[in-house]
Amino acid sequence: MTTYYSEEHEWITVEGDSGTVGITDYAQNALGDIVFVEVPEVGNSYDKGDEIAVVESVKAASEIYAPISGEVIAVNDALEDEPALVNAQAETDGWFYKVTISDADELKELMDADGYKAFTAGLE
């Protein structure tokens, strides 16, 4: 398994031809207490960069963008009743959806953990 990061603060952990997607710990920290998560519908396909989900916090609402193109194959239903999972475990149990990857070459445009760490350090 390899994890990649986008400049929009999404992560994707890739295993074979599928990936699990969520927002980074940096993003959840910036948003504050998350009170609502709208995940995509299973079976829908998205292109890289498409708006795919919404997160609402006590501070603001924020769109979540697809870090890669693909078809949604599962969603984290636990977020409906417990959106604070994103705050508590953004990069594990707080995942948003799983996707079948349409174009693995798009992963080359994402950052690895060290690159993302350097990217976020430049934002502070």
Is 80 exceeded by the pLDDT of residue 45?
yes
| 25 inside domain | yes
| 121 inside domain | no
| 112 inside domain | no
How many angstroms separate the CA atoms of 85 and 15, rounded?
A: 22
Where in the sequence is the domain holding 34, given as residue range(s)?
Answer: 2-105
Burial of 46 (0-12, 13-18, 19+ CB in 10 A): buried
| 110 inside domain | no
| 58 inside domain | yes
Is 90 exceeded by the pLDDT of residue 21?
yes
How many angstroms separate the CA atoms of 83 and 70, rounded?
A: 24
| 32 inside domain | yes
- How many structural domains is the chain composed of? 1
What is the pTM assigned to this prediction?
0.95
pLDDT on residue 59: 87
| 97 inside domain | yes
Question: What's 34's domain CATH number?
Answer: 2.40.50.100
| 38 inside domain | yes
How many angstroms separate the CA atoms of 124 and 98, rounded?
A: 30
When comparing pLDDT for 124 and 27, which is higher?
Answer: 27
